[in-house]
Chain A
Amino acid sequence: MNMESLSPIILSLVTFIPAAGGLLILLIPRRDRDIKLFALVISILAFVASLHLPVHLHRELGAFKFEIDKIWIATPNIHYHMGIDGISVWLVVLTTFLTPLCVLVSWTSIHERVKEFFILLLILETALIGVFTSLDLFLFYFFWEATLIPMALLIGMYGHGRRVYAAVKYFLFTIIGSMFMLAAILWLYAKTGSFDFVVIQNAIRSGSVSGFENASLWLFLGFFIAFAVKVPLFPLHTWLPDAHVEAPTAGSVLLAGVLLKMGTYGLLRFDVGLFPEQAHRNAPWIMVLALIGIIYGALVSLVQPNMKKLIAYSSVSHLGFVVLGIFSFTTAGLNGAVFVMLAHGVATGGLFMLCGILYERRHTYEISEFGGLATPMPKYATFFLVTVLASVGLPLLNGFIGEFLVLSGAFQARPIYGILAATGVIWSACYLLWMYQRVFFGKVAHEVNNALPDLNLREKAALWPIAVAALVMGVAPLVWLSAIDPAVQRYALAPFTQLAGKVVGQ
């Protein structure tokens, strides 16, 4: 097929292939094997389709590509407006990359209500991709909320122990946060008559929105609360450890890998994109919150007896880096923030998959239950080590690039922030390597662990892509950064140079 003719529909295809597949699963009789295979095929199909996007993106422009803009509802003026740039394209690919792996790790760990599980998983994938591709604020909100129920159900139906508590907490935190965003979106619509991101952005930049001066702080905060809950930024992070610990493996992978990025993506695209002045003005305290998140998350991780909770808190710490990078408003910081999003998605997604594999064998996440696992499970230990090192930020693996860029950006913005954040890197090496040591090294502490089987073929198939991605991203980050940088320059930094020009001009 002619590649150009594909370009207006490719985004819709990538977005809706999973949901369409999910609905088709409804028709398949309840034979678990068929359902799993079908879900795997659909998710791989979506991944392959999504590869079209980075290949055909005009990187150097940094503009939106693959745009489609159709009227969805005439009054109010809601458009089906989708498009991606160098930032969102990688988040879409990250989503489609992780979902097949989620299907693989759920193969045997989900025993009952298998059909519902994969339907929810695929619908969730569509909603997640939709969040990153929407350029209409209404459409964005639509997908944003659409992620809520599938994720809550995945946690609540397939999770462990206190799953109901975790699901409800997750749901309430998110929905209350997003209500504020909805109010802000509606205010913008009332004043501009449009939900279109680009239209609103232009209107704000040209100063033609009446009453914007007085309202902009509140609008900024309205969006900010919704995103900060999702990130999660200290002190709104308390839902995260609960949700992670109780969620099934696939839920944790998507939660850490993609759902949290909805928050940071929203901050970058909408909060910074629409209200650059407020973003600049509020950057100091937001950066302080991010720093608290980095250090607090790391310290809490250090003392966790539960592997999954440890990784959950490490997410709080890593996502703090992203927020720090965004609000440093430096080229390095912003590039690094986007790169950390991707690297964290791969590495932490991988760690949760590894935890899930161990849980399937021992039904516990307690670190004290293990020890010396490297002896019975050498391959598992190797994969674990690679992923841990990627997460720690070892050079040549993906974690390093992003964190380094963020730190240098933060240092440019305010040296003390850079110094404090750098301690976070040290802490992360402490808690992750210490956990690795306690779980894998030494003698086998518990008799049962001797008999643990090593990775099987399916599990290896799920882990290899993670390891390869971590390595490739670490060795050739320019593949990613060459698309990220122009987009970041254009959407996040350009308004500031304009702003600065204005100030100087006066």
Chain B
Amino acid sequence: MTMMLAFSHLLPGLLAQAQTFQAPQLADYMRILPELVLSLFGMLIMVVDPLLDEESSHQSLGTIAFIGTLTALASTIWMARYPGTAFYNMVRVEGFSVFFHFLVIAIAAVAILSSFEYLKVQRIRAGEYYGLILFCTVGMCLMSSAIELVLIFIALEISSISTYVLAGFRRRDAASSESSLKYFLLGSFATAFFLYGVALTFGATGSTNIDAIRQVLRSGNVPVLAYVATALMFVGLGFKVSSAPFHIWAPDVYEGAPAPVVGLMSTGPKAAAFAVLLRVMFEANAPGRFWLIWVSAALSMTLGNLGALLQGNVKRLLAYSSIAHAGYLLVAFAAQPELGTSAAMFYTAAYAAMNVGAFAVVSHVANAGEKYVTLEDYAGLGRRSPVLAATFTFFLMSLIGIPITGGFFAKFYVLTAALNSNLVGLAILLVLNSAVGAYYYLRIIVMMYMREPRGEVPVTPVSVAAGLAIAVCVLLTLYLGVLPGRVLDYAAHSASQLVSDTAAPRASSGAAATAQ
């Protein structure tokens, strides 16, 4: 808000809007209802935390946080009934933002479920932990619905700062502190790039509103500054999605951070950052994006997969794999806007389901102090805990991209989008990289089923919450792998909304747009 007022004297358009100043209406609040709900629950947890003793707080605070996410999911449905912009063109509710709201809140819910047991075993204080997860989710939700670059930046910071802290939650472990510090330093550096890009965009187009930027960039003469701005924003967002060459942080941070948090931050903030990237690249029609994305996609796929080949630590392996998957996703960004957007949206959903699930398994196996995270520790898991191994195999199959899993259709849609846009080079790279990828995922499966178990790794029963989390992920991965039609249709519909040429009336409808 203050930002808007600060800019208003520069912008005749906004000035006109400021003259017809209207107080935010109820519908405006409805359009950020999930964010409000999540913030309230986050604060509730902070308030309740000191009242409980540490032993009982794990269960009750986790439950509150979980209920918070469920309420937020319900309120997202409510929010979806109020399409349109809110708060003076800062936030827009549409198919696209509703999709990502659902996604990130669901990721948070599953991450919370898989944390129950973990926090108890690792003896981590639950209050701040769950509070931060909820606040992080607020940031991610806002990232997906903000159509104002400054608000996007604020939302990015809300989610980033929460994850910086979450990464360092295993305080007794130096690796975790290292992870947190590394993430913080490099992350701040990257967001500075993003902010710089925002400033240059403002310089080039005279606005920080996505719709207005689009109007200017469509009008024909694109200033050189806009190209620089695109590149700088891509650096910032590229860091968040861990695409090469901005991926160096990922393996170290993932290795040190608590496993459920890695499950969250390798999917949630990533999905949100991809949402922003979609808005910046496609909706705002950023100039000169093609080769930028092409190179980054090719590098991410190749470096990610080659890096993963050499890993002996499952968390690091999955970190490199997430770099590779960011590359696959970026392939969609190089495709035609409409096809690319829907393929990318489906990919983020499928990737979230399988990766959160995979990390839920990893955090269970890791046990106290995350002792068991090397490949050898997975030897004979198929014998020790057959069900856990079977679900992990299922997630790995999805990561490879084998049919009846969501990962297969995700890759399939990206490939279709790429081939439809005549990106034969990228398509071939994607295919070759998938083959390389198959090898290292297979190594884990081989370990679990075809090697003799080592005695010292203890078998612990899976708690109800973690079991529920894993089951939800399996079901979603299976659903996306067998009946992807509905999700894809939804994604395609909102994608066409996002990149359609009817942006002008949409933008001017503004805050006055009322509920249906």
Q: Which residues of A contact B (CB under 8 A)?
A: 72-76, 113, 116, 141-143, 145-146, 148-149, 152-153, 156-157, 163-164, 167-168, 171-172, 175-176, 179-180, 182-183, 186-187, 189-190
Contact = CB atoms under 8 A, between A and B. Distances in A.
A144 to B, nearest CB: 8
B434 A163 contact: no
**Which interface residue of A148, A149, A171, A176 has the most chain B CB atoms within 10 A?**
A149
A162 to B, nearest CB: 11
Given A172-B435, A182-B431, A189-B416, A74 B489 contact: yes
B415 A186 contact: yes
A75 B404 contact: no
A447 B483 CA distance: 61
A180 B431 contact: yes
Interface string B438-464: 110010011001110000000000000
B369 interface: no
B449 A171 contact: no
A168 B442 contact: yes
A267 to B, nearest CB: 21
B174 to A, nearest CB: 35
A148 B402 contact: yes
B113 to A, nearest CB: 24
B485 interface: yes
A75 B382 CA distance: 37
Nearest to A186: B419
A156 B449 contact: yes
Contacts, number: 82
B492 interface: yes
Nearest to A74: B485
Given A146-B404, A156-B446, A183-B431, 18 more contacts: A72-B485, A73-B484, A75-B492, A113-B382, A149-B402, A152-B442, A153-B449, A156-B450, A168-B439, A171-B442, A175-B400, A179-B431, A179-B435, A186-B415, A186-B416, A187-B419, A189-B416, A190-B419
**Which interface residue of B402, B428, B483 has the most chain A CB atoms within 10 A?**
B402
Nearest to B438: A175
A152 B413 CA distance: 26
Interface string B489-505: 10010000000000000
Contacts of B416: 76, 186, 189-190
Given A73-B488, A179-B435, A157 B450 contact: yes
Contacts of B403: 141-143, 145-146
A164 B402 contact: no
B397 interface: yes
Given A74-B485, A75-B485, A75-B488, A183 B428 contact: yes
Nearest to B390: A116
B73 interface: no
Interface in B238-290: none
A118 to B, nearest CB: 14
Contacts of A186: 412, 415-416, 419, 427
Top-5 shortest CB links A-B: A142-B403, A156-B450, A73-B485, A176-B435, A179-B431
A210 B488 CA distance: 27
B456 to A, nearest CB: 22
A163 B450 CA distance: 8
A75 B486 CA distance: 9
B420 interface: yes
Contacts of A116: 382, 386
Contacts of A72: 485
Contact of A183 (B408, B427, B451, B489): B427
Contacts of A182: 412, 415, 431
B81 interface: no
Nearest to A171: B442
Contact of B446 (A141, A168, A176, A189): A168
6 contacts: A76-B416, A146-B403, A171-B442, A175-B400, A180-B431, A187-B419
A478 B129 CA distance: 74
A221 to B, nearest CB: 13
B384 interface: no
Contacts of A172: 435, 438-439, 442
Interface string B366-407: 000000000000000011001000000100010010111000
Nearest to A139: B403
Contacts of A183: 415, 419, 427-428, 431
A179 B402 contact: no
Contacts of A76: 413, 416
A404 B360 CA distance: 59
B377 to A, nearest CB: 17
A76 B491 CA distance: 13
A180 B428 CA distance: 9
Nearest to A116: B386
Nearest to B396: A149
B484 A190 contact: no
Contacts of B382: 113, 116, 157
A143 B393 CA distance: 18
Contacts of B432: 179
B306 to A, nearest CB: 16
Contacts of A157: 382, 449-450
Contacts of B488: 73, 75
Contacts of A163: 450
Contacts of B413: 76
B445 to A, nearest CB: 8
Contacts of B485: 72-75
Nearest to B409: A73
A467 B434 CA distance: 44
Contacts of B427: 183, 186
Contacts of A167: 446, 450
B419 A164 contact: no
B385 to A, nearest CB: 13
A88 to B, nearest CB: 20
A164 B446 contact: yes
A116 B450 CA distance: 13
A182 B488 CA distance: 20
Nearest to B437: A175
A122 to B, nearest CB: 15
A130 B402 CA distance: 15
A74 B413 CA distance: 13
Contact of A175 (B419, B435, B445): B435
A190 B445 CA distance: 34
Nearest to B488: A75
Contacts of B483: 73
Nearest to B393: A149
A295 to B, nearest CB: 31
A157 B449 CA distance: 6
Contacts of B445: 153
A179 B434 CA distance: 8
A183 B427 CA distance: 8
A167 B446 CA distance: 9
Contacts of A143: 403
Contacts of B439: 168, 172
A167 B397 CA distance: 15
A336 to B, nearest CB: 33
Contacts of A142: 403-404
Contacts of A179: 431-432, 434-435
Nearest to B415: A186
Contact of A171 (B393, B408, B431, B438): B438
Contacts of A176: 435
B420 A190 contact: yes
Nearest to A76: B416
